Structure 1
Amino acid sequence: MLLSILTFIYFFNAVIALITILMKPRDVSAIWAWLLVLIALPVFGFFLYLFFGRGLGDKKKYRLQQSDLKELENLAQLQEDSLSIFDSELENTELQPFVDFFSLLNRMPLTRKNEVDIFSDGEEKLTALIEDLKQAKKSIHIEYYAFVTDKTGKRILKVLEEKAAEGVEVRLLYDSFGSRGTKPKDFTQLIQNGGFAQTFITSQRALLKLRLNYHDHRKIVVIDGNTSYIGGFNIADQYVETTKRFGYWRDTHLRIHGAASSLLQMRFLMDWNVSAPEKNQVSYHLDYFFTDEQSATGSTDIQVVASGPNSEKEQIKLAFIKLITSAKERVWIQTPYLVPDDSVIAALKIAAGSGVEVKIMIPDRPDHPFIYRATQYYARQLIKENIEIQVYRGGFLHAKTLIMDDEICMVGSANQDIRSYKLNFEATAVLYDKKIIQQLEQIFIDDLTKCEEMTPEIVAEMSAWLIFKQQISRLFSPIL
């Protein structure tokens, strides 16, 4: 009798699983991954799917899309007002197809004459950020996946409270899932001083709405519309201190002074206005943007590419593919997670098969066990394609960078994994500047001194149990 009941439950579970999965358009790989979860874990698998497998609701997706369209219209007006710092053409005409391509992805223009500083150390980045925040005169806009109110978070929060009390407009947008331990009451003083703190739209009442899988993974700061930050560092102790779990945290972040700050400001406004209640939304005005053409004295041309599950375009993934398949000499990548989909794998194979030097650097330790084992699986597969895999042993490598030849590089929040391609809200800067590329190249070379190459001999020594864990983790890679 019990066996019959269990058989019925399992059969009924399998049928309902199939119907549930096929109700919503999705990749075949994701369908099979979710079917595996639902069938292998009867009942419990449905709870996992309810919270992590359902897409964004149509109303929420529409709100995100309309917010983007509204602010992009404002950006078009800003370009007309400040033509000399926004442009549509590079001096190097050979790279013009890239500018056109990235402009079509997001309708984000090319910005000229930016000054760029690169940070690869968390404390150095934090110190520079705090100093810039203290100098703010008009506005501070901050957006982080993880804004944790530990020692590091409180250092930032203290400055924000002080600036708000001085009359500076302070707005803080954070993802509640990434900011574990952070509570709304932590921002009471900031709000009393006139500032604002807001959770991102997808993390608002997400538990009640049964949607936990869509995160604001961006790391953006814009100060007075002139100075901005973008990259991989979040705000929490682990990003600036050497910890027992991660060791030294190795990441890459940019500080930008110039018109590219306006692009990041526009991205922030899109995300803020779609997340905040109507009374706290902000209106477009020039004070938020870089319009001082006389102070545009840098040499770096920058575009910004953003993507998220509110769009089917997967813009950042397309940007990665464009650079990888266009390379003539090299593609150097740093990523904490290497869980690419078939299209990116094909791009990497094409590049390596065309004689391009493809190097990928990954960490030697996990912060998410399943993703780490999946990363090892894909690393094993890629070395068969003449792709060099370097395993960083100097701590935890969290940098998200890509260098193409000596011409273009990307630095931002997006990893080389399916989550960053499809599920997270991400942002990355595309930079055209040989000097910046040389700096990133030197950082990569310095990191290589702390790496061990994954060779066929090392793979051959992996235990059967480790290979099994990698294989199992790989099966779930479309939904990790």
Structure 2
Amino acid sequence: MDYHSPYFFGYLIGVIHLLGGIAALHAVFTVRTAQGAIAWAMSLLFIPYFTLIPYLVFGSRTFDAYIEARRQANREMHVAMADLNWRPWVEEALAARNSESYGALRAMPRLGRMPCLANNQVRLLVDGKATFDAIFRAIAGARDTVLVQFFIIHDDDLGRQLQALLLKKAAEGVKVYVLYDSVGSHALPSAYNHTLREGGVNIRAFATRRGWFNRFQVNFRNHRKIVVVDGLLGFVGGHNVGDEYLGANPKLSPWRDTHVQVSGPVLACLQESFAEDWFWASRTLPPLILPETYPEDGVLCQVLASGPADPQETCSLFFVEAIHSARERLWITSPYFIPDEAVFAALRLAVLRGVDVRILIPSRPDHRIVYAASSLFAFEAVRAGVRMFRFEPGFLHQKVVLIDNEISAIGSANLDNRSFRLNFEIMLLTVDREFADQVETMLTDDFDRAREITAEDTRDTHRLQQLGMRIARLISPIL
């Protein structure tokens, strides 16, 4: 065949457009949202030269097959747990019904697969040093079992400190389990894992599916960050394991993030979430520990573990329910602000109800396309009456929700489609006035170091920038 012939190029273009049409039909039948289906289908039909390969990486998926496989793994995991008498939750769960504030979240008892439990202790950890000092101190004191799960683990100074500590505890006879995401930690060298395995640490990568084709699959990432030590002390929040989380990246420093230290009955829920993910990765169950007694007072807490295998879109519905429940105040911080229609409508309604709605987003981008789309959504939110702020000192990565005077939620979920529908996320909901006051103080300091976005900002934006924002918004459902 003459590869320089115009007929060859004609056939090639025809084949590409045919494949684009087939992929567009596949997107219509498989993409979960109408916006996402339209974004993929239109781009695949009209510019398949640029979108076929990205669709293979980001969009093409045997969604139903994956969901059924994950649900089957969860069923097998719970069968394996049945003999452990794992749910000592009835008496504690009853206490949640007496909370007027929690009662405002009317859908939460059924939306979350795990109950709201009383008698927990929580401690706010602001930024990386406080977070990793507390985590490393807890692991250093471990006597039985350490469960560690992060989206990203880097082989840098912080990562090697974690590695050395885990090897030390394994040598002492502590059972150590480490789970990381295969895409989030794609730069983690195999030598890092090999050293841990040789030292007696059980380490696994969370992968969506096995097989050659799915090496291109980057959806359904496990974005959770969980540490549980001896079933007595747990950690959840926004930090991953990397020097940039301690402010070592000059372009994004100082890094602003938040974690929570928690103890009490709710650790059963954190361990169960870890067990589901570990069982998916290994088809084995990690050790799970329940103390014989708990304190008789403390904070109401509920773990909200969400993911694409849920029967409903748990993460998106959580934000909608949280926004609708707000009566006086709704403060949210998120590194990415790409709300879906339901969340955006809920924000507008909250403003109309007279709620003080404030959202804090970064002033520095770590992903420029996402930043551009977030900027356009921020301008639209300002026009709807939402007070939008950009955190100025460095990169803002924390995921925090503060509702009225008692309710807060801290964890891994962002305000974007990837967290709403594609990632495995985890949030810790707390119902307590004293802890909410601490969160308020923290966020007040953050807002004081932020610049409010005004209507003038929307008018002063250059037309080329506006064009870039609108193009980014077109693909926002698949970001």
Q: Give the deviation of 1:449 after TM superposition.
A: 1.7
Q: Give the deviation of 1:70 after TM superposition.
A: 4.7
Q: After TM superposition, list the pairs within 5 Å mapping 1:400-411 onto structure 2.
A: 400-411=399-410
2:98 counterpart residue number: 91
Q: 1 CA distance for matches of 2:373 and 2:83?
A: 42
- 1:204/1:223 CA distance change after superposition, 3 Å: farther
Q: Give the deviation of 1:247 after TM superposition.
A: 1.4
**1:282 alignment partner, one of 276, 281, 285:** 285
Contact 1:258 1:290 in 2 (8 A): no
1:175 counterpart residue number: 181
Q: After TM superposition, list the pairs within 5 Å mapping 1:298-447 onto structure 2.
A: 299-447=298-446
Q: 2 CA distance for matches of 1:182 and 1:248?
A: 24
Q: 1 CA distance for matches of 2:28 and 2:89?
A: 49
Q: Give the deviation of 1:62 after TM superposition.
A: 2.3
Q: Which amino acid aligns with 1:290?
A: L
Contact 2:24 2:42 in 1 (8 A): no
Contact 1:150 1:237 in 2 (8 A): yes
- 1:469/1:437 CA distance change after superposition, 3 Å: same
- Spell out, residue by residue over 1:256-314, the C-alpha distance to the aligned partner (whole angstroms, 9 max, x if none): 011111100000000001111x4xx126x6xx2333324x2552110011111223511
2:164 counterpart residue number: 158
- 1:391/1:94 CA distance change after superposition, 3 Å: closer
Q: Which amino acid aligns with 1:265?
A: Q
Q: 2 CA distance for matches of 1:114 and 1:43?
A: 55
User: How large is the Cα RMSD of the aligned pairs?
Assistant: 2.3
1:121 counterpart residue number: 127
Q: 1 CA distance for matches of 2:210 and 2:239?
A: 23
Q: 1 CA distance for matches of 2:240 and 2:36?
A: 29
2:43 counterpart residue number: 37
Q: Which amino acid aligns with 1:289?
A: I
Q: 1 CA distance for matches of 2:426 and 2:227?
A: 12
Q: 2 CA distance for matches of 1:7 and 1:187?
A: 45
Q: 2 CA distance for matches of 1:213 and 1:357?
A: 35
The range that moved more, 349-358 or 61-70, is 61-70
Q: 2 CA distance for matches of 1:255 and 1:203?
A: 32
The range that moved more, 156-165 or 176-185, is 176-185
Q: Say if 2:139 is the partner of 1:133.
A: yes
Q: Give the deviation of 1:203 after TM superposition.
A: 6.9
Q: 2 CA distance for matches of 1:203 and 1:25?
A: 18
1:187 counterpart residue number: 193
- 1:25/1:470 CA distance change after superposition, 3 Å: closer
**2:22 alignment partner, one of 16, 19, 31:** 16
- 1:44/1:467 CA distance change after superposition, 3 Å: closer
The range that moved more, 333-342 or 180-189, is 180-189
The range that moved more, 73-82 or 189-198, is 73-82
- 1:185/1:440 CA distance change after superposition, 3 Å: same
The range that moved more, 443-452 or 189-198, is 189-198
Contact 2:255 2:397 in 1 (8 A): yes
- Spell out, residue by residue over 1:432-480, the C-alpha distance to the aligned partner (whole angstroms, 9 max, x if none): 0111111111111101121110001122111111111111100000001
SS at match of 2:348: helix
**2:220 alignment partner, one of 190, 209, 214:** 214
Q: Which amino acid aligns with 1:343?
A: A
The total of aligned residue pairs comes to 472
Q: Say if 2:249 is the partner of 1:243.
A: yes
Taking structure 1 as the reference length, the TM-score comes to 0.92
Q: 1 CA distance for matches of 2:134 and 2:360?
A: 27
Q: Which amino acid aligns with 2:97?
A: L
- Spell out, residue by residue over 1:366-411, the C-alpha distance to the aligned partner (whole angstroms, 9 max, x if none): 1111100000000000001110001100100001011111121111
Q: 2 CA distance for matches of 1:8 and 1:386?
A: 49
Q: 1 CA distance for matches of 2:256 and 2:82?
A: 34
SS at match of 2:48: coil
- Spell out, residue by residue over 1:72-92, the C-alpha distance to the aligned partner (whole angstroms, 9 max, x if none): 574897465465444463332
Q: 2 CA distance for matches of 1:156 and 1:186?
A: 11
Q: 1 CA distance for matches of 2:404 and 2:243?
A: 35
The range that moved more, 7-16 or 148-157, is 7-16
Taking structure 2 as the reference length, the TM-score comes to 0.92
SS at match of 1:302: strand
- 1:457/1:93 CA distance change after superposition, 3 Å: closer
- Spell out, residue by residue over 1:20-56, the C-alpha distance to the aligned partner (whole angstroms, 9 max, x if none): 3234253211111112332343244212111210235
Q: 1 CA distance for matches of 2:370 and 2:330?
A: 23
Contact 1:226 1:262 in 2 (8 A): no
SS at match of 2:250: coil
Q: Which amino acid aligns with 1:213?
A: N
The range that moved more, 435-444 or 236-245, is 236-245
Q: Which amino acid aligns with 1:397?
A: L
- Spell out, residue by residue over 1:308-363, the C-alpha distance to the aligned partner (whole angstroms, 9 max, x if none): 12235111211111110111101100000000110101110111111111000000
- Spell out, residue by residue over 1:221-249, the C-alpha distance to the aligned partner (whole angstroms, 9 max, x if none): 11111111100000001001242120101
Contact 2:113 2:304 in 1 (8 A): no
Contact 1:89 1:110 in 2 (8 A): yes
Contact 2:77 2:279 in 1 (8 A): no
Contact 2:31 2:59 in 1 (8 A): no
Q: Which amino acid aligns with 2:168?
A: E
**2:154 alignment partner, one of 144, 148, 151:** 148
- 1:246/1:297 CA distance change after superposition, 3 Å: farther
Q: 1 CA distance for matches of 2:82 and 2:123?
A: 25
- 1:77/1:384 CA distance change after superposition, 3 Å: farther
Q: 2 CA distance for matches of 1:158 and 1:249?
A: 24
- Spell out, residue by residue over 1:51-73, the C-alpha distance to the aligned partner (whole angstroms, 9 max, x if none): 21023554442232133345557
Q: 2 CA distance for matches of 1:219 and 1:153?
A: 14
Q: 1 CA distance for matches of 2:122 and 2:212?
A: 37
The range that moved more, 235-244 or 155-164, is 235-244
Q: Which amino acid aligns with 2:257?
A: D
Contact 1:145 1:218 in 2 (8 A): yes
